[in-house]
Amino acid sequence: MKHPEAERSEAAGPSGPRAQRGGAGDTARAARERSEHERKTQPESGSHRCGIVGLAGRPNAGKSTLINRIVGQKVSIVSDKPQTTRTELRGVLTRRDAQVILVDTPGIHKPRTALGRRMNAAANEALHGIDVTCLVIDASAPYGRGDAFIARSLPADSVVVVTKADLVGPQAMLEQLAALSELDFEAYFPVSGRTGQGVEALVEHLVGRLPEGPALYPRGTVSDAPEAFRVAELVREQLLAATRDELPHSIATRVTEWDWPLIRCEIIVERPSQKAIVIGRGGSMLKAVGTAVRSQLPEGAYLQLAVRVDKNWQRRAG
């Protein structure tokens, strides 16, 4: 397989046309606004900050949604099924004064399978060597033993992020914050990854906690994941949305060929009955998944999906 990173276009990066504003045709007002913006975002020389922020929390808490909101693009797939994120993944926010590297982790849970154990291990491993840890908690779910278990493993200067603020009223949010104050962590932020409410204040706090240093990723980078992984994840995201019961946990996806514009992606399930569901009547599910994923890919992509049964993929993977 060709390395898909080679296909990555720099066109959307800040060296593109947008970065070249400021010609003679600019109005005085635009120039004033620009200099005001630059005053806010351009650091004093040497005060650029860069660091790694890890997000930990129970499955479904809203970690990936929050990272996508902070980065401003979908870098991590989201679903209403728990245990959506299976591996560590980085999203990158680059500003003039700072680069924030956000580590998305699988939700930490009581594992029942080998895959679950690996996901917990991946989450714990991802939380080493980072600058700031955020404990992400769902405002709409009672604070429980699962959250407390995770909290105990986090450093005392962690930040508690209570998300899904849009789902609860201010009173319920206050009650959740009060219940969480027993954790005695450094700071508490009510936010909504869905609406963006409260996210700016959180990001400002995180930036302030990062060490000074140059950016680790080039401008224009939003994720450390290879394109092929991203496409496989987009396919899995559609399947998670379309399936239920134990099926979401039985599905893995993998790009097997990348010869632009052709992308072949394999969907692996554990049983023949699951294969039939994923294909759908007359291929209807595969067709719908393909259409939904293609709409998120650059124009011209030709996505071919195939389904394979491998009853041991969970044990083999990783």
91 binds ligand GTP (CB under 6 A): no
Taking contact as CB under 6 A, which single stretch among the options 74-82, 233-241, 255-263, 293-301 is the one that binds ligand GTP? Answer: 74-82
Q: According to CB under 6 A, which residues from 19 to 58 bind ligand GTP?
A: 57
85 binds ligand GTP (CB under 6 A): yes
83 binds Mg ion (CB under 5 A): no
Between CA 90 and CA 163, with CA 48 as vertex, the angle to 5 degrees is 45
Q: Would you say 42 or 140 has its CB closer to ligand GTP?
A: 140
Contacting ligand GTP (CB under 6 A), which of 64, 133, 238, 274?
64
Q: Mark residues 31-70: x for contact with Mg ion by CB under 5 A, - for none.
A: ---------------------------------x------
Distance CA 264, CA 306 (A): 8
78 binds ligand GTP (CB under 6 A): yes
Q: Decide the pairing of beta strands 159-163 and 98-104.
A: unpaired
Q: Shortest approach of ligand GTP to residue 136 CB, angstroms?
A: 6
- In three-state secondary structure terms, 217 is coil
The DSSP letter of residue 24 is T
59 binds ligand GTP (CB under 6 A): yes
The DSSP letter of residue 27 is -
Write phi, then psi, for 230 (nearest 5 degrees): -60, -45
Distance CA 10, CA 92 (A): 15
The DSSP letter of residue 98 is E
Contacts 24+ apart (CB under 8 A), 88-92: 88/122, 88/123, 88/125, 88/126, 89/223, 89/224, 89/225, 90/223, 90/224, 90/225, 91/67, 91/222, 91/223, 92/217, 92/221, 92/222, 92/223, 92/224
63 binds ligand GTP (CB under 6 A): yes
Q: Quick one: what does residue 297 bind among Mg ion, ligand GTP, none, with the CB cut-off 5 to 8 Å set by partner type? A: none
60 binds ligand GTP (CB under 6 A): yes
Q: Shortest approach of Mg ion to residue 64 CB, angstroms?
A: 3
Closest to 70 in 3D by CA, of 45, 97, 104, 111:
104
Q: Shortest approach of Mg ion to residue 266 CB, angstroms?
A: 22
Q: Shortest approach of ligand GTP to residue 302 CB, angstroms?
A: 28
Write out the residues near Mg ion by the rule CB under 5 A. Answer: 64, 84-85
Write out the residues near ligand GTP by the rule CB under 6 A. Answer: 57, 59-65, 78-80, 82-85, 106-107, 163-164, 166-167, 192-194
